[in-house]
Structures are given as C-alpha cells and as structure tokens.
Amino acid sequence: MSNHGVTDEVILEGFRSLHEAMAHGFDRVDRRMDSLESRMTAFEARMMRRFDKVDERLDNHERRITAIEAKI
C-alpha cells in the first residue's frame, strides 16, 4: 500500500469519525444502563412492598384457619 494521497487531514477525519462512532456507542450503552437501573429500582420497590405485607397475609391466614377449624 502506498502512502501517496494520505494527508494529515485524511487521518484526522478518520480519527474524528472513530471518535463519533465510539461516543455514539457509549451514549447508547449509558442509556440502556440507565433504563435497566430504573427498571431494577422499580422491581426492588415492588418486591419490598410485597415483603412488607407478608405478616399481614400470614396473620389473615391464621385467622382463616382458626375459623375453619372452629367449624369442624
């Protein structure tokens, strides 16, 4: 391959194009990570609300079992 016709401007343009492509790719990854973090935060909140209600569900279950046993 010959060096003829390759100027500093051509090389700099290549680096600019590479920089733009990398910046675009990293921006896309950042957006996807932000989206994933938001979904995981929402999932964690749902899970914690469900765990917070476990005692209530267990207490209600015990009352229902007692009521059923009383009928037997």
Model pLDDT for residues 9-63, shown as the tens digit of each residue = 999 999 999 999 999 999 999 999 999 999 999 999 999 998 888 777 777 777 7
The predicted structure's pLDDT at residue 59? 74
Tell me the pTM: 0.54
Residue 2: pLDDT above 70? no
Extended beta strands in 1-63, E state: none
Q: How far is CA 16 from CA 21, 24, 25, 53, 69, in A?
A: 9, 12, 14, 56, 78
